[in-house]
Copies of this chain bind each other. A is one copy, B any other.
Amino acid sequence: MSKKLTKRSEDYSKWYNELVVKAGLAENSGIRGMMVIKPYGYAIWEKMQAQLDKMFKETGHQNAYFPLLIPKSYFSKEAKHVEGFAKEAAIVTHYRLRATADGKGVEVDPNAKLEEELIIRPTSETIIWDTYKRWIQSYRDLPILVNQWANVMRWEMRTRLFLRTAEFLWQEGHTAHETKQEAVEEAERMLDVYAEFAQDFMAMPVIKGVKTETERFAGAEDTYTIEALMQDGKALQSGTSHFLGQNFAKAFDVKYTSREGKLEYVWATSWGVSTRLMGALIMTHSDDNGLVLPPKLAPIQVVIIPIYRKEEQLKDISEKADEIVKKLRAKGISVKYDDSDNYKPGWKFNEYELKGVPVRIAIGPRDLENGTVEVARRDTLSKEIVPMEGIENHVEKLLEDIQTNLFEKAKKYRDEHITPVDDFETFKKVLEEKGGFVSAHWDGTPETEEKIKELTKATIRCIPLDNKEEEGMDILTGKPSKQRVLFAKAY
């Protein structure tokens, strides 16, 4: 670690950018808006992938793979969909380079122009529904429960590592169903899977809700969302699940023969989470010393560092450390013993703190004498001396505690930052000074939503699924409203 991180209180945005780079998670490539995900960052993403993939399979889904490039004409078949994505489409127009006349470089070969331009997928509904048309004839072919892990491209103008990049990695589930009810249930089921993943693995509390028409996915009838709150009081949409109705089935003419022998359009859902979750994970837990990782997603859960002056001490310490490593591994805990002599213990302490390793064990000569080790936890930065005997049980318990503590802490912060507000002045003030979600009445019109956004930069994050009905007046227009919705400034 070359120098200290900027403090969150000084410049939250700078803190985030520095942290992502210094902790070895990702960096900007030489290409506008495109990132390199570095090994440590990718290792966290792999843990997320593995868990999500398991949950998708447990709910009956299979993986498949569809083409990266989508013909412009497919892309245009669903009107709202193309409108939503046209402005950020990366377009392949040629398929060959040739040597320049001077022989010194290469240029696009004008003779290799594609008859029809191809779009790099920003999402795959169109190419997938073009495929499903071949797969679906009868109700016996339904449901189709397919997921794809893939890269996608949206030519965003302002980009930030993980949060908004031109290329990102994600999964996109695309399902096809006989009935509307089945599709709605699927969309809701996958929202539950996302919420469970966010809470139980990322230790990140989320609010399940439905988007307003304005914020809906381009081509969806309903977009369900999980919304999280970052430490700077801004919301982050962390996963969405869409009930697509029959829109794509109609656009691609996908019908099936029903149990009653009638030809019907197929019902659809799609749902996705992306490497954006990495940004959410980082911003939910990390502190001014660096990354803080929930144990369930930490590539290294425990690091052991020897403290010694003489080679001979190291030998004795290493012997004990190896025993501890074995015991921890036997419990399925991932552990690294860092006996490298390039750096001093103090440097290593900082480094693993920066990298968010949940538990650090230090062993020195005095520990050997006393049969103890020093155990430090990353979340609270507290240390304690613990007997070496039974250390594996202690650490196992500690990892569980850290996982729970991170969730509870984040939940406390989040709960304290849901503020019910009933007048527009307070609304603006809370958004400006306190941040977080503001729970306020809304008259249900896109016009008011837009107006509020113009005035405050806050958007309606969602209408919570567990909302209770409540008579009230729109925070801006005073028109009648039947329920509160959650506003926030958002990433």
Chain A interfacial positions (CB closer than 8 Å to B): 27, 29-31, 34-39, 42-43, 46, 62-72, 74-76, 82, 86-99, 105-108, 117-120, 127, 130-131, 134, 140, 146, 150-151, 153, 155, 167, 169, 342
> In the complex, which of the residues B29, B42, B90, B117 contacts A63, with contact meaning CB atoms closer than 8 Å?
B42
In the complex, the answer to whether B67 meets A130 with C-beta atoms within 8 Å is no
CB distance from A21 to the nearest CB of B (A): 10
In the complex, the answer to whether B86 meets A97 with C-beta atoms within 8 Å is yes
Inter-chain CA distance A131–B27, complex, in Å, is: 9
> In the complex, which of the residues B31, B37, B92, B342 contacts A65, with contact meaning CB atoms closer than 8 Å?
B37
CB contacts (< 8 Å) of A130 on chain B: these are: 29-30
> In the complex, which of the residues B74, B89, B342 contacts A140, with contact meaning CB atoms closer than 8 Å?
B342
CB contacts (< 8 Å) of A63 on chain B: these are: 39, 42-43, 46
CB distance from A385 to the nearest CB of B (A): 33
Of all chain B residues, the one with the shortest Cβ separation from A62 is B39
In the complex, the answer to whether B127 meets A117 with C-beta atoms within 8 Å is no
Of all chain B residues, the one with the shortest Cβ separation from A40 is B62
CB distance from A120 to the nearest CB of B (A): 7
Inter-chain CA distance A205–B107, complex, in Å, is: 43
In the complex, the answer to whether A96 meets B106 with C-beta atoms within 8 Å is no
Inter-chain CA distance A87–B92, complex, in Å, is: 15
Of all chain B residues, the one with the shortest Cβ separation from A165 is B67
In the complex, the answer to whether A91 meets B90 with C-beta atoms within 8 Å is no
What are 19 A-B contacts defined by CB distance under 8 Å? A27-B134, A29-B131, A31-B69, A31-B118, A37-B65, A39-B62, A39-B63, A65-B169, A69-B167, A72-B106, A88-B96, A89-B95, A90-B95, A91-B92, A91-B94, A91-B96, A93-B93, A93-B94, A120-B120
Inter-chain CA distance A212–B156, complex, in Å, is: 45
In the complex, the answer to whether A36 meets B95 with C-beta atoms within 8 Å is no
A96-B86, A96-B89 as given contacts; A30 in contact with B71, CB under 8 Å: yes
CB contacts (< 8 Å) of A96 on chain B: these are: 86-89, 91, 155
> In the complex, which of the residues B68, B71, B74, B87 contacts A153, with contact meaning CB atoms closer than 8 Å?
B68
- Pick from A42, A94, A106 the residue with the most CB of B within 10 Å: A106
